[in-house]
Every structure is written in structure tokens, then in C-alpha cells.
Amino acid sequence: MAHEVDPSFLALPLRALADAALARARALGAQHADFRLERVRDAVLRLRDARPSTSLDTTDLGYAVRVVHGGAWGFASGVDLSMDAAARVASRAVEMARLSARIAAASGPAGERERVELAPEPVHEGVWVSSYETDPFEVPERERTALLAEWSAGLLAADGVAHVDAGLTCVRENKFYADTAGTVTTQQRVRLHPQLTAVAVDRTTGEFDSMRTLAPPVGRGWEYLRGTGWDWAGELERIPELLAEKMRAPSVRAGQYDLVVDPSNLWLTIHESVGHATELDRALGYEAAYAGTSFATFDRLGTLRYGSELMHVTGDRTAEHGLATVGWDDEGVAAQSWDLVREGTLVGYQLDRGTARLSGFERSNGCAYADSPAHVPVQRMANVSLRPDPGGLSTEDLIGGVDRGVYVVGDRSWSIDQQRYNFQFTGQRFYRVEKGRLAGQLRDVAYQGTTPSFWRSLEKVGGPQTYVLGGAFNCGKGQPGQVASVSHGCPTALFRGVNILNTGRQG
């Protein structure tokens, strides 16, 4: 269903504010200026054992002006929606750029090398709205709460379930952008993240464990909770039995196993070991303080054997229902799709206009994003996805090709070093695989490796029928820190000879 931008957002003086700010920036000699006005509504519901515990509904409204003046960036933001205030914000941005330029000049040749230049981008004008049927904010809060309470009560009624936590986050993001090149765009994105976790407690031993729904966060509307894109009834019905089996499961014996990874787990491995590693600012060393740099350095572009020849990973700002899907990024760059790893070789990075020009790329691929009108855009992750094999096997057939292995479903904890190289991941549940068949759940399991060794062990990639678009609402980056939502699609995949750790009891 096609939607239009919320009329109340369009009723704001968008063009007038932009014209006032951009005119002032031009008059003060800015080589480039852009204006971004955002209204972000964020609603959070939390229930504990079917009873409401948290209800928040907030709106962040403001605008930002960013300029390039004297080869340096300047940035300022405001909330006063008057033309005079917008012009003053532009003046502050220019003053910041002038100060930055003086500091750079004082550093000599090093400062000259850091002069800001932007990769070219065609002029765009248009309106874009994400793909959804029902805006979740058109659903009364009592109805949203009632559905979570109903689902929670159903889980609590099952034998062995001691507690249930339920949550729902809904976001509607409106954004207006204009710059001195002539680009003018308006966007509206809707996304939501529902989640339920059942907890079991052994009253005799005191041991406990949990199991969370696998349903990913999505760029959809309320229809997602009514069964469009996910079988909620089927998953919730299975959780108590799966959790009871998990409580009885034996501890894994550490060693090397073949590993079949479900998309509900593999998306996070992609996020940490490929998504962040192929952000160009990390590869260049410009991003280091927050979660480190990258082993996939720029000098290895086109030569680094990232994985096996079956590994084909794309960056994508266009995927339907993707959390990082947009019409244009926060620098006015149109959404695109491109290769990051092709036939196992590193062939691309995620770029914004500054890093693209700095590194010799003809154009940005649209990876600039700010999580609020008070924050400067930084290079952020696209929807980074492992492509399926068009003629690939089903999950069952991939398992059928394993003599001794482990099958992992769902994400849980993760750990990765500051260069995106050494890692370990756990999951919601693990199954022993014996002679091509599942032989019951295991506990205390983690898989460990280095990014290249793990991806080079990729032997089979599942077909399109196994492909799922996973993702997260809480990807952090930058100082001051910013949070972005991002999706990662992938099929089920088979890896040979992966190191399996025992994280608790000895097997």
C-alpha cells in the first residue's frame, strides 16, 4: 500500500527554513551547505509477565545546518522554527568551520591534506516513503499493549515458563533535506521491533535459561504483528517446548565441528565481521575510538581473500523493508546497491561523500546518516547481506550433508576485537547434528574464529527459500554516540571445521 508523508510534517515551514539557512551560508562564503529538518517519533512498550512496566512516546523535532567553508566542516543545530533562527544556526555552522580551518592551518601540511572535499552527486528532488501498510502510530496504545499481553499470557500458561518479558519499539522518521547544489528531498520511514522472551527456572537446582522470539525488527507497519512477514502464532506455540528441551540439554563437548548457521544467527556475524569491517572510515583509521578500526584496510581492496568463492556480500540501501533502506542519505545521495565481497574477494566499501572523494571513488554509495537533528551525519552501515545461491539447498539438505556438526538458531551474545578479526558468537539454541540428522539440543555453545578463516570455511550457501532479512535497532557508532537501525539478509550456510567452545559446564 502506497503512503504519503504525514501532512502535519509537510505543514512545517520546511522550504522557508532551508532557504533562510542556505542563503546565509552562501552569503558567508560556504563552498557547500546542507539543511536537514527531522521529526522522529519513538514509542516503547515493555511488559513483565503480561503486565505493563514501561510506556514511552517521545518526539524529537529540530534541524541542522552543515557547511564546508575554507576546506573544513562546520555544524550547528536548532529547534526554533523561525527564519531568523535558521539563519543564525547557519552562521554558527560557518563560525565552527572557520575555527576548524584555522586549527588545520596551524598543523601545517597535515592539515592541508585533510581539507574537506565532497564526491560529486547529481541533483535530486523527490519524495520517498518506506514500504508498509499500517502506520503503527495509528494503532491505539491500548491495542498494542493488549496484543503483547495476550501473547505473554499464552506463554505463561505453558508448563515450565516462569516469566515472560515482552517489548515493542515503533519509530516513524520524517526527514526534509536541501542543499546549495539544488537537491530537495522529503522522506518518511516506519520501522518496528517486537520481541518476547520466555524464562524457565529449575526450582530444584536453581538453574535457569531463556528463549527469545526469532522474529527480526523490520521496516514494516502494524501488519507485521498480524502475521504479514512472520508466523507469530506458530513461533509462540513452539517456544515452551523448545525451552523445556533446552533446559534438559547436555553441555557441548568442545572441539571442531561442521557448523550449519541459520539466518537468525548469521545476520549478526555478518554485521560484526563484514558490515563494520567494510566501513571505509574504519578501514582508513578515521573511526577508531568506538569499536575500533578494520583489518580490511584500504590497501587490500581488490586483493584480500575475505572468504571462499561462494561468498557474495552486498551493501544495499534499497532492500524492501530494510531498516537501513532510504530514498536518499543525509548528504542527498540516492540509494544504491553494490558489491562489498565478490567471489570471496574484498571489492568495495561503504562510503560517504567525504571518504569517497578522499579515497578516489567517483561517487558516494549513500552511507551518511544522523540519528537525530542534533547530530552530525557520520558514515553508517547499509543493509549488508550475504546473497543466496540461486540453485542452493534447503536448510534440511544442508544439515543432511553433515556427518558430525552443530546447527545454530537465533542470536544471543557476541564478542569481536577492535579490528573486526577475532570473534565468538553464541545463539538462542544449538542442535547436535549426527549423520545428517538433528539429534537434540545442546547447551553452553559458542563458535569462535577469525573473520577470514571463518568465511574461507564457507562450503555451501543455501537457496533463496532459506533467505531471511534479519537486523538490529541498536548499532552504535561515533562520539558523541549515535544509534542506527540496520538489516542483514542471508540464507542458511554451511561452514566446515569451525572451533566450538564450551562456555559453561564441561562436556
CATH code for position 105 = 3.30.2290.10
- Give the DSSP letter of residue 328: B
CA separation for the pair 285, 294 (Å, rounded): 8
Residue-averaged pLDDT of the chain = 96
The CA distances from residue 306 to 192, 241, 269, 376, in Å, are 33, 39, 14, 32
Same domain, yes or no, for 274 and 242? Answer: no
Of 248, 270, 292, the last residue of a domain is: 248
Residue 1: inside a domain: no
pLDDT tens for 51-102 read 999 999 999 999 999 999 999 999 999 999 999 999 999 999 999 999 999 9
Same domain, yes or no, for 225 and 272? Answer: no
Residue 507: inside a domain: no
Residues 6+ apart with CB under 8 A from 507: 250, 251, 252, 253, 254, 444
Q: What is the pLDDT of residue 437?
A: 98
Same domain, yes or no, for 265 and 395? Answer: yes
Same domain, yes or no, for 94 and 216? Answer: yes
- Chain-centre distance for alpha carbon 44: 18
Residue 2: inside a domain: no
Q: What is the pLDDT of residue 26?
A: 98
User: Which band of pLDDT confidence, cut at 50, 70 and 90, is reported for residue 110?
Assistant: low
Residue 434: inside a domain: yes
- pTM exceeding the 0.75 threshold for the entire prediction: yes
Mean pLDDT, range 233-260, rounded to an integer:
97
Residue 333: inside a domain: yes
Residue 429: inside a domain: yes
Same domain, yes or no, for 302 and 444? Answer: yes
Which residues lie across from 68 on neighbouring strands? 32, 73
CA separation for the pair 79, 12 (Å, rounded): 12
Same domain, yes or no, for 173 and 151? Answer: yes
pLDDT tens for 313-346 read 999 999 999 999 999 999 999 999 999 999 999 9
Of 248, 266, 289, the last residue of a domain is: 248
Residues 36/186, Cβ–Cβ less than 8 Å: no
Residue 372: inside a domain: yes
Same domain, yes or no, for 173 and 47? Answer: yes
Range of the domain at 357: 255-502
% residues pLDDT > 90 (the chain): 94
Same domain, yes or no, for 219 and 261? Answer: no
pLDDT tens for 16-62 read 999 999 999 999 999 999 999 999 999 999 999 999 999 999 999 99
Same domain, yes or no, for 292 and 323? Answer: yes
Of 194, 227, 248, the last residue of a domain is: 248
Total domains in the fold of the chain: 2
Same domain, yes or no, for 268 and 322? Answer: yes
pLDDT tens for 142-180 read 999 999 999 999 999 999 999 999 999 999 999 999 999
Same domain, yes or no, for 285 and 241? Answer: no
How many helices (H) and strands (E) the chain has is answered by 11, 22
Same domain, yes or no, for 204 and 291? Answer: no
Residue 58: inside a domain: yes
